[in-house]
Amino acid sequence: MKRLRAILRHIRTATYELQLWITGRWRRDDMCTHSLLGLTGEGELVPLEAIRKWTNAQCREAEQWAGAVHLQASDNDDVSVPPCPAHVKEHDTPANRLRIQREEEAFWQRMARRTQEAQR
């Protein structure tokens, strides 16, 4: 499931970047902002509902940060990464990490049950 999510994030991100390159204009797309954050590992921590409440400036700042983090992680050591924006960082809490852990555990339990049912 995580692999599929990662592939979909890459497709959304590539589509968004292509549209940005063709038009030369930034256009707000909350799903794409969420996907870009997902490339850094923060996408799970920042819910889409929170992104929808951000201003356009906050979305752009988050996207620029996420893009720089992702590029630097791809062996581009010359890419400078700005500090994580406060509106992104505020979602990195123990409660959010616990919520994500529980969601993942519930997902794998469901998958195990389905596998057992399919084997019967």
Is position 54 within any domain? yes
Give domain status of residue 103, yes or no: no
pLDDT at 7: 65
**Which ranges of 1-120 does DSSP label H, i.e. alpha helix?**
2-23, 30-38, 48-53, 56-73, 86-89, 94-119
d(CA 9, CA 34): 9
**Which tokens belong to 98?**
């616990």
Q: Compute the distance between CA of residue 53 and CA of residue 38 in angstroms, rounded to an integer.
A: 18
Q: How many domains does the chain have?
A: 1
Q: What is the pLDDT of residue 24?
A: 66
Interatomic CA distance for residues 53 and 102, integer angstroms:
25
Domain carrying residue 63: 2-91
The mean pLDDT value for 18-43 works out to 77
Q: How far apart are the first and last CA of the chain?
A: 23
Tell me, what's the pLDDT at 45?
A: 82
Contacts of 44 (CB under 8 A, 6+ apart): 38, 100
Q: What is the pTM of this model?
A: 0.64
Q: Is 26 contained in some domain?
A: yes
Identify whether the C-beta of residue 85 lies closer than 8 Å to the C-beta of residue 58.
Answer: yes
111 found inside a domain:
no
Model confidence band, residue 91 (pLDDT cutoffs 50, 70, 90): confident
**Residue 106 placed within a domain:** no
